[in-house]
Amino acid sequence: MNENNNIIELINVRKEFDDETVAVDNFNLEVKKGEFVTFLGPSGCGKTTTLRMIAGFELPTSGEILLNGEDISKLPPNRRPVNTVFQKYALFPHMNVYDNIAFGLRLKRIETTYKDKNGNEKVKKVKLSGADIDKKVKKALEIVDLEGFEKRSVATLSGGQQQRIAIARAIVNQPEILLLDEPLGALDLKMRKEMQIELKNMHKKLGITFIYVTHDQEEALTMSDKIVVINDGEIQQIGTPTEIYNEPINTFVADFIGESNIFNGTVVGKLKVKFCGATFDCLDDFEINDMVDVVVRPEDIKICAPAEGQLKGKVISTVFKGVHYEITVEVGKFEIVIQSTSCAEVGAVIGMRVEPDGIHLMRKVYTVNKYVGVITKNNTVEFGDGEFECDVTTLYPGSTLDEEGYLITAGGEKLDLTDTEVEVEVDTHDIEMSDDKSAGGVVGNIISMIYKGDHYRYIVRTDENEEDYVLSCPDLWNTGDLVSLIIPKEKIKLKLKVAEENK
Amino acid sequence: MKKFRLRFSRSQLCLPYAVFLALFVIAPLLVIVYYAFTNGQGKFTFNNFTSFFTNTNTIGTLLYSLFLSITTTIICLIIAYPTAYILARSGFKKQYVLLMLFIMPMWINFTLRITALKEVLSVLEGNISKYPFLNSVIGMTYDFLPFMILPLYTSFLKLDKNLLEAASDLGANKFTVFLQVTLPLSVPGIVSGITMVLLPSMTNYVVLDMLYNKTYIMGSLIGSYFSAYDWHNGSMISLVLLVIIFIVTLVTNRFSDKDDNSRRTLL
């Protein structure tokens, strides 16, 4: 039954909330027994929702959750051999430490066989004895290093102690999987570092599978056997910490995990890529002329004499960070961040080299915005979530517009294009942002921004139908900013929908 | 022109309230205490005190009042607890409207409400004076229900959903979750609801009057002494009632306090 050694498997799990927002989609994951798996992603990415589905607090809209090969996705939380450590501890305030930890044990029934009067073997479920519970609680308190705290009231404990009690309360039940929902989020930095190590040790000692949720990439890298990077409800990448760090699969992962320089590049030859105005050897094989995102970690850029470098630039800032210096260099219009143990003076011209294994290429996810739109009256087109002015004459070569706004084709035919479906394409650098809400055709919030050396790449999402617009812009905005989007009408490329033409 | 500016210290700002307290709370209390322990000649006496506990009439009224108010409180609690729970816990978006439906009767004048109730009861029972106790309990419950619902509603709203999830995560089924987490954590709400209903319903004789219940409760008993110009015995009854209320409040305060010491005494 459990031939593949997977303790838990999520198959095509999707969660849609009542208000029709999709929290998790197309989620496929296998976790092996005894693994320490971390769900990593920004807040609101769906990682906690996924954890809650494994715990049983949320039911998936579709998909299966298999525990040891059996579907448990419909079971209530109390019938799953899974325990949770909550972010805000969720200790029972009306019970002392002992009662909190013993809560699960007291509800446990253990199957025991006994002989009835007629000598037949029977199975009955019995409670744990008081002495057994005592022993287990004591052991759990030992594991979390809080011996002798049994009689203490929960409210008298510090945050760190409460967290330990919460962990003890969960592990005392010997769950098959321990779920931890940002358990260290409320602790201060030093405490957090300590607990990270302790949790890791606990994981080794107990041999229980841990599924850990965090938005802290450093925490994920420190503790996990396997990291699942999640964004927007979908898995971006699954891998070991080293794989995730060294071989990020897309710019989101690269940007989220660690520091990165991300550039637009073009493949110019076999294992050759051009970015920042220079050509580099690389290890990723792409087709010639492919547009790619290039990720270079700051520590993979080596400083050298200006003449020996593949790139040459002027140092514009140097910050001492303890172990290394963070040096920002201006190369033409690009900005490059370097981490180096050697210092470089501001204003100095330095050369930079990047070895092939320091260059990571990824296929560009967004090169152009594509929508299906509808022509509305007066030469405007509705697409995404907004209405923009456009030039419909581009749809029919040689056509003109008459005074009333009707289209006259080259053959002199008069056409009413209202309600015609069209394919709309807008280049990422043809969309402008404005904080004047009425200036553009659509208003949305910036949900993501990634620095690309000489410009930022933004994704603006509308509130209404959650349509995304991808754009490049050299100016700095903030995530969450409400902006309106301006698209000049000559930049909106229209094409009649194929289906429409066939009619 | 020099600007005139009033400057008050904090204690000065308290003055109107202090005067009010002295005039309308402390002075009357002292007067009550004085009358309770004096006789018609103004001499100090314990007679009023002893007669309270020897007079079967007063003791009977006290017991009747207690029985009536305890019955009312229990019925209010039985109705209010699930109502408040459903109101606070359900994901129902219009829960505020529902809550208003329960609270709104409080906006209508209370004699008007009881008069309306009287009409309903006389239709149902024919002769309304047949069930004086039952009618009084119904009237009181109708009157005091919102005061039971509100504190319970608040305590359910405050209940951390994580705790319920934690309990079910640890293996508790819905019933156990309720018994071991929801119920103990709603005790402060229960206690303050009881205080809000139990004490006023011991003295609210208007409901009884309007529903033709001729039996005295504490409020009407005091009234009857005062209207017969027996200030001394009337004051003693008021004083005894005051002490009872004081004791009840003292006991319930131990439970309703949010701090943890009170919780420990409870368990």
Phi, psi of B101 (to 5 degrees): -55, -35
What is the tens place of the pLDDT at every residue in A472-503?
888 888 888 888 888 888 788 887 765 444 43
Give the pLDDT of residue A367.
66
Going by pLDDT thresholds of 50, 70 and 90, the confidence category of residue A257 is confident
Which residues in chain A are closer than 8 Å to B158, comparing Cβ atoms? Answer: none
Give the pLDDT of residue A413.
76
- Mean pLDDT across A343-356: 89
CB B138 within 8 A of CB B117: yes
Other CB atoms within a 10 A radius of the CB of residue A170 amount to 26
CA B83 to chain A, closest CA, distance in angstroms equals: 24
Q: Cα angle at A237 between A235 and A242, to 5 degrees?
A: 150
Give the pLDDT of residue B248.
84
Give the pLDDT of residue B203.
84
Q: In angstroms, rounded to a whole number, what is the distance separating the alpha carbons of residues A464 and A490?
A: 26
CB A35 within 8 A of CB A225: yes
- Mean pLDDT across A433-456: 81
Phi, psi of A24 (to 5 degrees): -140, 135
Give the pLDDT of residue B1.
52
Higher-pLDDT residue of A3, A159: A159
pTM over 0.80: no
Going by pLDDT thresholds of 50, 70 and 90, the confidence category of residue B78 is very high
Question: Which three-class secondary structure state does DSSP give residue A87?
Answer: coil
3-state helix, strand, coil in chain A (%, to 5): 20, 40, 35
| Residues in CB range of A355: below 8 A, 6 or more apart | A300, A302
Enclosing H/E stretch for A261? strand A261-269
Which residues in chain A are closer than 8 Å to B163, comparing Cβ atoms? Answer: 90, 92-93
- Mean pLDDT across A286-293: 82
- In percent, how much of chain A has pLDDT > 70? 96
Question: Nearest residue on chain A to B166, judged by CA atoms?
Answer: A90
Question: Nearest residue on chain A to B165, judged by CA atoms?
Answer: A57
What is the tens place of the pLDDT at every residue in A49-83?
999 999 999 999 999 999 998 899 889 999 999 99
- Mean pLDDT across A400-405: 70
Interface contact A17, partner B, CB < 8 A = no
Give the pLDDT of residue A176.
92
Q: In angstroms, rounded to a whole number, what is the distance separating the alpha carbons of residues A415 and A407?
A: 5
Which residues in chain B are closer than 8 Å to A84, comparing Cβ atoms? Answer: 165-166, 169
Query: Does the CA dihedral B37-B40-B41-B42 come out positive or negative?
Result: positive
Q: Cα angle at A73 between A67 and A77, to 5 degrees?
A: 90
Question: Nearest residue on chain B to A156, judged by CA atoms?
Answer: B260
What is the tens place of the pLDDT at every residue in A160-195?
899 999 999 999 999 999 999 998 887 888 888 888
Which residues in chain A are closer than 8 Å to B179, comparing Cβ atoms? Answer: none
Phi, psi of A240 (to 5 degrees): -70, 160
**Is pLDDT at B149 greater than 70 in this prediction?**
yes
Query: Considering only residues 154 to 193 of chain B, which have any Cβ-Cβ distance to chain A shorter than 8 Å?
Result: 160, 162-163, 165-173, 176, 180-181, 184-185
Interface contact B255, partner A, CB < 8 A = no
Question: Which three-class secondary structure state does DSSP give residue A333?
Answer: coil
Give the pLDDT of residue A145.
87
Which residues in chain B are closer than 8 Å to A92, comparing Cβ atoms? Answer: 163, 166-167, 180-181
Q: In angstroms, rounded to a whole number, what is the distance separating the alpha carbons of residues A213 and A41?
A: 9
- Mean pLDDT across A127-144: 90
What is the tens place of the pLDDT at every residue in B15-50?
889 999 999 999 999 999 999 999 888 788 888 888
Which residues in chain A are closer than 8 Å to B260, comparing Cβ atoms? Answer: 93, 153, 155-156
Which residues in chain A are closer than 8 Å to B162, comparing Cβ atoms? Answer: 86, 88, 90
Going by pLDDT thresholds of 50, 70 and 90, the confidence category of residue B93 is low
Phi, psi of A9 (to 5 degrees): -135, 130
**Is pLDDT at A463 greater than 90 in this prediction?**
no
pLDDT, mean over chain B: 85
Going by pLDDT thresholds of 50, 70 and 90, the confidence category of residue A405 is low
Of A86, A94, A104, the CB nearest to B267: A94
- Mean pLDDT across B152-160: 90
Does A103 contact B180 at a Cβ distance shorter than 8 Å?
yes
Interface contact A94, partner B, CB < 8 A = yes
pLDDT, mean over chain A: 85
- In percent, how much of chain B has pLDDT > 70? 91
Give the pLDDT of residue B20.
93
Interface contact A81, partner B, CB < 8 A = no
Question: Nearest residue on chain B to A52, judged by CA atoms?
Answer: B165
Give the pLDDT of residue A366.
65
A111-125, A324-338, B100-114: segment of lowest average pLDDT: A111-125
- Mean pLDDT across B232-237: 90
Give the pLDDT of residue A500.
41
Which residues in chain A are closer than 8 Å to B165, comparing Cβ atoms? Answer: 55, 57, 77, 84, 86, 90
Which one, of A300, A292, A301, lies nearest residue A268 by Cα? A292
> Which of B90, B158, B169, B174 would you mutate first to test chain A, the one with the most A CBs within 10 A?
B169
Going by pLDDT thresholds of 50, 70 and 90, the confidence category of residue A327 is very high
Does B160 contact A153 at a Cβ distance shorter than 8 Å?
no
What is the gyration radius of the CA atoms in chain A, in angstroms? Answer: 29
Higher-pLDDT residue of A125, B28: B28
Going by pLDDT thresholds of 50, 70 and 90, the confidence category of residue A209 is very high
**Is pLDDT at B265 greater than 90 in this prediction?**
no
Query: Does the CA dihedral A489-A491-A495-A497 come out positive or negative?
Result: negative
Going by pLDDT thresholds of 50, 70 and 90, the confidence category of residue B259 is very low
What is the tens place of the pLDDT at every residue in B123-147?
888 888 888 889 999 999 998 999 9
Which one, of B199, B227, B186, lies nearest residue B80 by Cα? B186
Which residues in chain A are closer than 8 Å to B184, comparing Cβ atoms? Answer: 94
CB A91 within 8 A of CB A166: yes
**Is pLDDT at A44 greater than 60 in this prediction?**
yes
Does A55 contact B181 at a Cβ distance shorter than 8 Å?
no
**Is pLDDT at A394 greater than 80 in this prediction?**
no
Give the pLDDT of residue A502.
40
Does B176 contact A107 at a Cβ distance shorter than 8 Å?
yes
Angstrom distances, CA of residue A412 to CA of A44, A146, A401, A402, B208: 55, 88, 11, 11, 93
Give the pLDDT of residue B92.
62
Give the pLDDT of residue B264.
34
Give the pLDDT of residue B267.
30
Of A77, A93, A169, the CB nearest to B168: A77
